[in-house]
Structure 1
């Protein structure tokens, strides 16, 4: 019975690990191939638009 649970946890860990690695690799490939050349332009424009916004939430240290 112990070997069943050991096998179950090993397979579960492998499935979760492979899924996590697959997601990271796929995201990296997608950003490189389909991210376009204007990624930094979009990021800079977003930062410029949000520059005057006030922070919301959290605890302010006084």
Structure 2
């Protein structure tokens, strides 16, 4: 198991990050194809870009509340 990935996801979930950002981050980190265009959101695209860069701190801008 990739503990870096696991720990980052747990931290984002505990912080209450926007679920769209988290889904994007997971997809980008795992190098999955991006969602189809009509389902893209600003949060998802930001998460996807951060995931591709393995950025573990970008989520802090997307914490709800």
Q: TM-score, normalised by structure 1?
A: 0.26
Larger radius of gyration: 1
Q: TM-score, normalised by structure 2?
A: 0.25
Q: Between Structure 1 and Structure 2, which shows a larger proportion of helix residues?
A: 1
Q: Which has the higher contact order (CA 8 A, sep 6+)?
A: 2
